[in-house]
Amino acid sequence: MRTVAGAPLGDAELSHLDAYVRAANYLSVGQVYLMDNPLLREPLRPEHIKPRLLGHWGTVPGLNLIYAHLNRLIATHGRPMLYVCGPGHGGPAMVANVWLEGTYSEIYPAVSRDERGMARLFRQFSFPGGVPSHVAPETPGSIHEGGELGYSLAHAFGAAFDNPDLIVACVIGDGEAETGALAASWHSNKFLDPARDGAVLPILHLNEYKIANPTILARISDEELDALLTGYGYRPYLVAGDEPAAVHQQMAATLDTVLAEINAVQAAARAEDDQAQARAGGAGQATTDRSVRPGSRPPWPMIVLRTPKGWTGPSWVDGRRVVGTWRSHQVPLDNVRTDPEHLAQLEKWLRSYRPEELFDEAGAPRPQVVGWLPTGDLRMGATPHANGGRLTRPLELPDFRAYAVKVDAPGATTAEPTRVLGDYLADMLRANAAHRNVRIVGPDETESNRIGAVLQATDKVWQANVSDVDEHLGAHGRVMEILSEQVCQGWLEGYLLTGRHGLFSCYEAFAHIVDSMVNQHAKWLKTTRDLPWRAPIPSLNYLLTSHVWRQDHNGFSHQDPGFIDLIVNKKGNVVRVYLPPDANTLLSVTDHCLRSRDYINVIVAGKQPGPSWLDIEAANLHCARGIGIWEWASTDHAEPDVVLACAGDVPTLETLAAADLLRTYLPELRVRLVNVVDLMRLDSPSEHPHGLSDAEFDAIFTTDKPIIFAYHGYPWLIHRLTYRRTGHANLHVRGYKEEGTTTTPFDMVFRNDMDRYHLVMDVIDRVPGLARRAAIVRQEMVDQRTRHYEYVRRTGEDLPEVRTWTWPAATREPTATGGPAAGGPALAAKIGGR
């Protein structure tokens, strides 16, 4: 592995760096242990110690070393940098550094840069009413909490995309480096455009141990590690040692070399890009001119930092070695209040940093500690890139109405909703091409999900080799595909947190792969709502398609609508779930989501051909309401006998087909049809801001009539959302019951008892007095299900009356006359129909 010789630091600069790191280490230890006597003005006593010692020390000294040296680069070169702290337990370090640079006190004036402020800084850490132990949203300069390991490198690359002047220093803990998400994230360099993106500087911090075990990358040879990282496409440099002065010189020399390499890579790529744009006739026109030639992708530099875990802390405690072992991972001295020897060791440890040299009589950092630091927005705690809402430019969005499917009558027009949306998204990308502030990510599914029209507006970004048979690959594309949902999620989160916009297109079942990642993002958004200094950021938008009901080519493994359930678990003020029933409602919903801020929006929409129910104006009004009575499909005359409700495209189709059957066979039955687009309208307003009031809910669903609800996902979610409602006891929900396989569209709903015939049976069973009057109709519905079962297994396709069904208004007046092949007017006559 490469090492850089030399001693670029003069005595004064070395002294400043050493003082700064000692100060950061002192402040970090103080946060873990002290609630009083912050500057040790008097001997340390048990009452100065927190009653509960919560925090982590092991990774902190390395993080402080890195922060100090990045400050030196910024101060010397004026290059903006963002610090992504991957080690999950680096909270004390990051808080200490932003306090030293002054950012913390600017945002939180009560935590001033003096003795009183230092005392508050110490007391609040991992303390009731204080701040968390991780690098949380409360920490200035952060975009990455790190509580769950694996995502730092993907976040870092997401932040660097379309930020050409920014360098993102990403510290990767060696425990984190063992995760699958991080292992895949190394490949992000194949998507980083040196001409138009910023740079990511990975710093793999190897301190050899996790909580209780050694780490893999720290226990393989330097030769093997070098081969691994070189194979990923990086040029690794090694910095190693435990003697501070020597490590400072080596780190400074290495960072100088690395920065020069980054500058050279970018300068060469940008000169080539300028020439390409000049040939194309102007800036912004040559978006796909520079193809990647075999062997032309530059290796990006990175650093491997080997320092002892718990460096500068107590070497031995109770006769056991601590520094350089897992014992320094959390709190090296854990009985300080009750064990005089531990108390004495803590005081000795704190005084080893010589705080009297670092802080003046008022408790402020001395000039030799902080006088050389970057100022203003160049401070890593103050960079606007870590408060991305400050930089957000609203998207230029085309009028979604221009892409509408023409609907002369409900169900008369067939369309593929996501294909229709693709044209809108393509023009959205064109409208924002000059601003380079939006990307579409997904795991190799852009064309499969039928939004492939976007590839007429841009390429899929690609920095690896290109073959003659490849299509839509280019160095400057706005679409990003890698077959790792976790990396896609990480990229997009980093991109959004630094102020840009995006859409994640994914198969519905495999959105679950990022369950824990979206959990963390939801927690971040929830927390930032209470931090007025955090500007709102563009929303995290999911387009989930290839959904549970239409897995014609895959089957049971691809059938899972449960991502919605996960999202609904999150705080109501940050999550939204939309189930547009057709193409026009999908256009309206997506436009709304792309304009929103600080939300997680989940849109579930089909890609297969399906009926269009609403023209664009009706669709927009329906989406604005989020829920509505479809009068054209109802026969209730303001007082229904039964409510048919639906949410989702396939449930809507089956519910309308059931309504048609009821018109035919039971024309005297008063049926109200309700469609839900915004799922959270069902929730209580005390739990979600979109929730209907009880009065509104009762007006739509009634308080005493049966409600037959066909829902896209697991049926119990509807019960959960509505359990407080007056009419909940009348609610009967049909949805996905984990019955699936590779089969026909109608057989899927049949297997899960959400088919039109079963919905009619539910109506007959639940409307008082109807079971006796409609026994023949119910029998016919049972027979139709039997006919389907036999027919689909004999022919491999659905019954003709199912395949060709359309809403009556599409072919005739919506009266009670007519009927399916089996039954029709004759059967209707038997039960009193026309």
pLDDT (0 to 100) of residue 285: 43
The region of weakest confidence among 33-47, 92-106, 148-162, 813-827 is: 813-827
Look up residue 813 and give its two tokens.
């007046």
pLDDT (0 to 100) of residue 823: 37
Q: What share of the chain is helix, strand, coil (3-state, %, to 5)?
A: 45, 15, 45
Condensed to tens digits (0 to 9), the pLDDT of residues 441-481 reads 999 889 999 999 999 999 999 999 999 999 999 999 999 99
**In the chain, pLDDT over 70 holds for what percent of residues?**
95
Which whole number is the average pLDDT over 221-234? 97
pLDDT (0 to 100) of residue 282: 61
Three-state secondary-structure class, residue 397: coil
**What does the alpha-carbon distance between residue 131 and residue 142 come to, in Å, rounded to a whole number?**
14
**What does the alpha-carbon distance between residue 19 and residue 655 come to, in Å, rounded to a whole number?**
72
Residue 380's alpha-carbon distances to 70, 160, 166, 258, 386, in angstroms, are: 9, 15, 11, 19, 8
Tell me the HSE value of 731 on the side-chain side, using a 13 A CA sphere.
28
Which whole number is the average pLDDT over 688-693? 97
| Contact call for residues 539 and 591 (beta carbons, < 8 A) | no
Sheet with 300-306: list strands edge to edge: 81-85, 167-173, 199-206, 300-306, 234-240
Condensed to tens digits (0 to 9), the pLDDT of residues 585-624 reads 999 999 999 999 999 999 999 999 999 999 999 999 999 9
Condensed to tens digits (0 to 9), the pLDDT of residues 237-288 reads 999 999 999 999 999 999 999 999 999 999 999 999 999 888 887 644 444 4
Confidence of residue 814 (pLDDT cuts 50, 70, 90): very low
Confidence of residue 828 (pLDDT cuts 50, 70, 90): very low
**What does the alpha-carbon distance between residue 518 and residue 234 come to, in Å, rounded to a whole number?**
29
pLDDT (0 to 100) of residue 810: 53
Which whole number is the average pLDDT over 533-537? 98
- pTM of this structure: 0.94
Higher pLDDT, residue 555 or 730: 730
β-strands 438-442, 501-507 pairing: parallel
pLDDT (0 to 100) of residue 555: 80
Mean pLDDT of the chain: 93
pLDDT (0 to 100) of residue 222: 95
Condensed to tens digits (0 to 9), the pLDDT of residues 504-524 reads 999 998 999 999 999 999 999
- What is the CB neighbour count within 10 angstroms for residue 780? 23
**What does the alpha-carbon distance between residue 230 and residue 236 come to, in Å, rounded to a whole number?**
7
**What does the alpha-carbon distance between residue 704 and residue 707 come to, in Å, rounded to a whole number?**
9
Residue 166's alpha-carbon distances to 46, 62, 227, in angstroms, are: 46, 23, 28
Condensed to tens digits (0 to 9), the pLDDT of residues 281-317 reads 764 444 444 455 545 789 999 999 999 999 999 999 9
Residue 813 φ then ψ, to 5°: -65, 140
**What does the alpha-carbon distance between residue 581 and residue 579 come to, in Å, rounded to a whole number?**
6
Task: State yes or no: pLDDT of 826 exceeds 50.
Answer: no
β-strands 600-604, 540-545 pairing: parallel
pLDDT (0 to 100) of residue 293: 55
Task: State yes or no: pLDDT of 236 exceeds 80.
Answer: yes
CA-atom Rg of the chain in angstroms: 31
- Exposed e or buried b for every residue in 186-204, given b needs 16+ CB within 10 A? bbbbbbbbbbbbbbbbbbb
Task: Check residue 376 and report its DSSP letter.
Answer: G
| Contact call for residues 544 and 602 (beta carbons, < 8 A) | yes
pLDDT (0 to 100) of residue 295: 53
Q: Which residues neighbour 249 within 8 Å (Cβ) at sequence distance 6 or greater?
A: 6, 7, 8, 9, 14
**What does the alpha-carbon distance between residue 758 and residue 500 come to, in Å, rounded to a whole number?**
47
Task: State yes or no: pLDDT of 551 exceeds 80.
Answer: no
Task: State yes or no: pLDDT of 770 exceeds 80.
Answer: yes
Q: Which residues pair with 359 in a beta bridge?
A: 365
Q: Which helix (H) or strand (E) holds 567?
A: helix 563-568
Residue 69's alpha-carbon distances to 83, 242, 250, 284, in angstroms, are: 12, 16, 11, 36
Which whole number is the average pLDDT over 785-802? 95
